[in-house]
Amino acid sequence: MSGDRFGDGAASAVTTAERRLAPETLAARGMPTPDPETGAVVPPIHLASTFARDADYELRQPFSYARDGGPTSRTAEWLIRDLERAERTLLFSSGLSAMAAVLEALPMGARIAIPDRMYHGGRSWARRLEAIGRIRIDVYRSGDAESLDSAVHPGQTSLVWIETPSNPECRITDIRCGAKAAKAADTLLLVDSTAAPPPTTTALDLGANIAFHSGTKYLNGHSDVTAGVLSFRNARGFDDEVAGIRTHQGTVLPGFESWLLLRGLRTLFVRFGKMSASAQAIGEALSDHPRVEVVHYPGLPGHPGHTIAAGQMTGGFGGMLSFQVRGGARMARAVALGCRLFVPATSLGGTESLIEHRKSIEGADSPVPDTLLRLSVGLEDARDLIADIDQALAKAI
């Protein structure tokens, strides 16, 4: 099944790439524009849960029942597939439901390599599956290529999992090195690229087989949808397994949410560019602040992963950064609550800036330092945002 995005037979991602349409162009249009039936320049929202058969009892399109997805989720899937230069993209009702489907698709007793710094929801689900004997886990040090290598066991490991930049400490893992290790062991590589969306990284081009995004974050970008994205290339049928699980669990992204996601994607590139520029300015300002111990942002030359990040984040270092305050957990929480513009809330990638004390969210067994605050930089004026943190740092005790 392929997308005829421009009404002239531009059927596949490869064809699109050959025509050298920039991903930015694809995102800005967001659909086959205009709609051939109505001339509408934005896509319709299809909410039907079931689809009629014709006189031969055949389906007119490959839709029969909404648990498999419908026309609006397919339009969004095709757009992201083209942005990722993937063979296939599947949308889910949240990032975590997409992660759960990946873990569910693994064979019984499968061995997976995961980083010691990983989105806590995915980590705790993987740990639960390990506890009941469903999978085996090898942990490597996030951002350490040698450690990753030694966690991959040829003939045994089924999946290598990378998250880069890692949330919330912005550790950078070299995707090309991970791909080499995965390939040598004849295993699949998944990259959680939530913090590095297509304007800056296309993990499949760097050798990954599965690019994961929490679409809740940058892709939708307006804090009004939860969505998960899996894009596949050379996945050897793993995509079919995952799609089957999605159908049985009914975790496809519904029509209205798919439409909102398409709407968000139209401005993805401009949002990501501005957020990256503002985060860089905030990171630099915080680096000089006497009440700040360390800033974690891959755009800073002093960041241990800066060189690797520069080689795989070619369109900006993103709007997520974190920093550790001097003075302990109480001080960190006081800074979060002392902000007037930054909202103390979880999540990232929305137009409004957020601040979060991650340790409070992740709990006692989390490896995140308790002096760490994560920022999600939105679209406000960067000077306003810097002044806001300044006043919160000044008054916190």
Q: Which positions from 116 through 135 interact with ligand PLP, judged by CB under 6 A? A: 119, 121-122
Q: Catalytic residue at 395?
A: no
Using CB under 6 A as the binding criterion, the count of chain residues that bind ligand PLP stands at: 16
User: Is there binding between residue 93 and ligand PLP (CB under 6 A)?
Assistant: no
User: How many CB atoms sit inside 10 A of residue 16's CB?
Assistant: 21
Instruction: Find the angle CA(55)-CA(56)-CA(60) to the nearest 5 degrees.
Output: 80
Say how many C-beta atoms besides its own lie within 10 A of residue 41's C-beta.
11
Under DSSP, is residue 180 helix (H, G, I), strand (E, B) or coil? Answer: helix
96 binds ligand PLP (CB under 6 A): yes
Decide whether 185 or 321 has the Cβ nearer to ligand PLP: 321
Is 65 one of the annotated active-site residues of the chain? no
- Write down the least CB distance from residue 223 to ligand PLP, Å: 11
Question: In the set 72, 73, 75, 94, which binds ligand PLP (CB under 6 A)?
Answer: 94
Reply yes or no: is the peptide bond before residue 34 cis, omega within 30 of 0.
yes
Position closest to ligand PLP via CB: 95
Helix axes 95-105, 238-249, angle to 10 degrees: 120
Q: Within 205-224, which residues bind ligand PLP (CB under 6 A)?
A: 214, 216-217
Report, in Å, the least distance between residue 348 CB and ligand PLP. 6
Q: Does 167 bind ligand PLP (CB under 6 A)?
A: yes
263/283 Cα distance (integer angstroms):
30
In the bound complex, what is the minimum distance in angstroms from residue 365's beta carbon to ligand PLP? 18
Beta strands in 249-346 (DSSP E): 292-296, 320-325, 343-344
> Of 270, 267, 204, 194, which is closest to residue 232 (Cα–Cα)?
204
According to the binding rule CB under 6 A, does residue 143 interact with ligand PLP? no
Q: Give me 154's structure tokens.
A: 């040829």
Q: How far is the CB of 320 from ligand PLP (least distance, A)?
A: 8
Site for ligand PLP in 285-304 (CB under 6 A): none
Cβ proximity to ligand PLP: between 5 and 246 the closer is 246
Catalytic, 381? Answer no
Catalytic residue among 217, 246, 274, 374: 217
Active site residue 240: no
Strands in 110-115's sheet, in edge-to-edge order, are 88-92, 228-232, 210-214, 188-192, 157-163, 110-115, 135-140
Distance from the Cα of residue 342 to its chain's centroid? 22
> Known catalytic residues?
67, 119, 192, 217
For ligand PLP, the binding residues (CB under 6 A) are 94-96, 119, 121-122, 163, 167, 192, 194-195, 214, 216-217, 226, 228
